[in-house]
Amino acid sequence: MYQTIEETAAFLSMEASQIRALVLQGRIRAIHDGEQYLINKEQFQTHLEQVEKYRKMMQDYLSEPIPEDIDVKDED
């Protein structure tokens, strides 16, 4: 499914100017139909999956309970 730059910006929660700059830099693949750039939405699927995986890892890490301090006593 192809989207315009504005639709892609809304989908990725970014500014349209940032998306346009990334398209012009070649970091986002797009086609130009003579009037506007069209971006295939599917190219972001892997990125979004990785972001979600990282978010889940961080939530798991942050929700892990802190172990009790070991009370070290001198046994002399």
Residue 12 lies in a domain: yes
Ordered mean pLDDT values, 10 residues apiece, the chain (76 residues): 93 93 94 93 88 94 82 63
Determine the pLDDT at residue 72: 64
Determine the pLDDT at residue 18: 95
Number of domains composing the chain: 1
Residue 52 lies in a domain: yes
Determine the pLDDT at residue 52: 93
CB-neighbour burial class of residue 30 (10 A; exposed 0-12, middle 13-18, buried 19+): buried
Alpha-carbon distances of 37 from 24, 52, 62, 70, rounded to whole Å? 10, 27, 41, 61
Determine the pLDDT at residue 4: 94
Residue 59 lies in a domain: yes
Determine the pLDDT at residue 26: 93
Give residue 32's domain range: 2-63
Q: How many CB atoms lie within 10 A of CB 37?
A: 19
* CA gap 24, 48 in Å, rounded: 22
Q: What is the pTM of this model?
A: 0.65
Residue 70 lies in a domain: no
